[in-house]
Amino acid sequence: MDIRNVPAETASVAPGFEQGYAVRTRGLTKAFDGHVVVDHVDLEVRDGEIFGLIGPNGAGKSTLIKMLTTLLPPTSGEATVAGCDLLREARLVRARIGYVPQLLSADGALTGRENLLLSARLYLLPRKERAERIAEALAMTGLEGAADRPAQNYSGGMLRRLEIAQSTLHRPRLLIMDEPTVGLDPVARNAIWDHVRDLRTRFGTTILITTHVMEEVEALCDRVGILHHGRLEKVGTPAALKAEIGPDATLDDVFAQIAGTDIEMGDEHGNARESRRSAIGHG
Amino acid sequence: METPANRVAVPSATASGILAAVEGYATQVQAVAGAEVSKLRHDPSEILTRAIQPAIWLVLFGEVMAQVRGITSDSTRYLDFLAPGILAQSVLFAAIFYGIAAIWERDLGVLHRYMVSPAPRSALVLGKALSAGIRGLTQSVVVYILAIVLGIGVDLNPLHLLGVAVIIALGSALFSTFSLIIACIVRTRERFMGIGQVLTMPIFFASNAIYPIDLMPGWLQAISRANPLTYQVDALRALMLTGGQSKFGLGVDCAVLVLATTVLVVIAARIYPRMTA
């Protein structure tokens, strides 16, 4: 079944929702104590694409993701996520998206299987299908052999795969991942990339990732949005963004051109809390 | 096809719709509590280490205070009087730990997984409360064994044991949810550590746990009567001891505990999401 083509099943389709977009925001803004962190962002993620959100530390990526996952209420603006209104139908949004946070979100004291069972119950997977879906998810992530070991004994790559399995057990229409390959070795990173592509192929899942790694963008993303000082500065295919700069430009050049101004300005706009959190994530 | 998404989406008003909604809610509560039970099963050593504190209170404090005349009427042995109080105390101390566990879960990132799920916040809070109840019950088994060893007149009537289980589960749910609310307000482990001590001691001492309310000065009696722990201990005295008596009546005790728990769960469900914002 192609989830992309399933019409929004309920009568409660948000006004303004247009078919074909997994995410659509209008003037989405977040300010903390008058300090604007996300500034009137109009983001469109098309159904079925892998969209990369890049930007320097403190650009507002994490705050934007927190709003899209309903964890943080926006200061102003509106959005439809997975066909539902972000403000009025938050619970429905949560039922239709999967989220892999930057921080470790699997419970280390539980086994892989127990972690998956937790998600299966929270997302109300029909009882009859639970065991089958969990087995399938374990197979897809190559964790069958480790399923009954506590997750705290997993390697970084295994944990990430478990977390993705937990977040996609309910076959979300949209999977959001916050820096999914930070701290992973190249082999583990490639395994994650393969898995993400596989999810799209098999289930038509739309994928929105944030990343610092330009290699990840090249390997995965159909389109990229560059966030800087809370504004969505540029959106396009990796090839188009490179072509804008010059014939031999790399994505690093694109990133440096946009983020470069930061170096002159110091880090006064940097969100200290966000940087600290990512420091924990990296450690 | 019925996908999880539209099961959440369609709150139909039909009888089967309501039944499905209730079943779904129960599943989500069970999801949270089930995870906790799995953890206890993986590492049950915690149950034993938590047995040390009630043992100290009963053996050291209890045996000495039992020599003091006048705390309880002559017909009641002080150790018997103390045992239900110490049972409630050990459960209270375990439940108060839930707030710091919630902050810990937030810092780790585990809480995000719960918060982005479609489970209603009240189901998450109730799941945690139920977990605390289960933990409290394992504590109670340890305190019962201690009490029997010390020769306390423990009532083993199955109906009374069931009553104790209900009261323990309620008390655990109440104080763990209270602790969760504090955690949502103070937000950091350091601040919680400070405030946790400051809260636990007054709840414990301004209650009938280790001495009767009648011994207290008037103002302290008033506070004790507003303290849910007093009603929990009162119910436990009636149910745990052979020939035990309730001062306020079991109905009043249960009503106070249920009402306080409900109010706290409603408040916690409202502010719990702030933890991940």
Angstrom distances, CA of residue B54 to CA of B43, B139, B142, B275: 20, 9, 9, 32
Residue A122 falls inside a structural domain: no
Residue A156 falls inside a structural domain: no
Is the per-residue pLDDT at B86 higher than 90?
yes
- Contact between residue B149 and residue B100 where contact means Cβ atoms under 8 Å apart: no
What are the φ/ψ torsions at residue A81 (nearest 5 degrees)?
A: -125, 125
Instruction: Tell whether A118 lies on the interface with B, counting CB pairs under 8 A.
Output: yes
Chosen for mutation from A64, A84, A122, A167 (greatest number of chain B CBs closer than 10 Å) is A122
Residue A11 falls inside a structural domain: no
The mean of the pLDDT values for chain B is 91
Q: For residue A261, what pLDDT is reported?
A: 58
User: Model confidence over B161-204: pLDDT tens digits?
Assistant: 999 999 999 999 999 999 999 999 999 999 999 888 888 999 99
Say which CATH number the domain at A91 has: 3.40.50.300
**Nearest chain A CA: its distance from B128 CA (Å):** 13
- Give the helix ranges, DSSP H, for A97-155: 112-122, 127-140
Nearest CA in chain B to A170: B4
- The verdict on a CB contact (< 8 Å) between A124 and B27 is yes
Residue A247 falls inside a structural domain: yes
Mean pLDDT value of segment A243-272: 68
pLDDT band of B8, cuts 50, 70, 90? low
Q: What domain range is A238 assigned to? A: 20-106+175-282
User: Model confidence over B106-150: pLDDT tens digits?
Assistant: 999 999 999 999 999 999 999 999 999 999 999 899 999 999 999
Dist. CA B188–CA B268, nearest whole Å: 17
Is the per-residue pLDDT at B6 higher than 60?
no
Residue A126 falls inside a structural domain: no
Domain boundaries, chain B: 14-276
User: Model confidence over A102-122: pLDDT tens digits?
Assistant: 888 999 999 999 999 999 999
Residue A149 burial (10 A CB sphere; 0-12, 13-18, 19+): middle
Pairs of CB atoms within 8 A across A/B: 113
Instruction: Tell whether B187 lies on the interface with A, counting CB pairs under 8 A.
Output: no
- Give SS3 for B277: coil
Instruction: Tell whether A72 lies on the interface with B, counting CB pairs under 8 A.
Output: yes
Burial B96-106 (b: 16+ CB within 10 A, else e): bbbbbbbbebb
Dist. CA A235–CA A222, nearest whole Å: 11
- 3-state SS of B141-170 is HHHHHHHHHCCCCECCCHHHHHHHHHHHHH
- Contact between residue A181 and residue A160 where contact means Cβ atoms under 8 Å apart: yes
Instruction: Tell whether A70 lies on the interface with B, counting CB pairs under 8 A.
Output: yes
Residue A266 burial (10 A CB sphere; 0-12, 13-18, 19+): exposed
Pick B109's closest partner by Cβ from A73, A105, A173: A105
State the DSSP code for A213.
Answer: -
- Contact between residue B195 and residue B186 where contact means Cβ atoms under 8 Å apart: yes
Q: How many domains does chain A have?
A: 1
Instruction: Tell whether B153 lies on the interface with A, counting CB pairs under 8 A.
Output: no
pLDDT band of A11, cuts 50, 70, 90? very low
What percentage of chain A carries pLDDT values higher than 90? Answer: 73
Q: What stretch of H or E contains B41?
A: helix B15-42
Residues comprising chain A, all counted: 283
Residue with tokens 């940087």: A275
Residue A266 falls inside a structural domain: yes
Measured between beta carbons, the chain A residues lying within 8 angstroms of B5 are 9, 92, 95-96, 170, 173
Q: Where does chain B show beta strands of DSSP type E?
A: none
Residue A192 falls inside a structural domain: yes
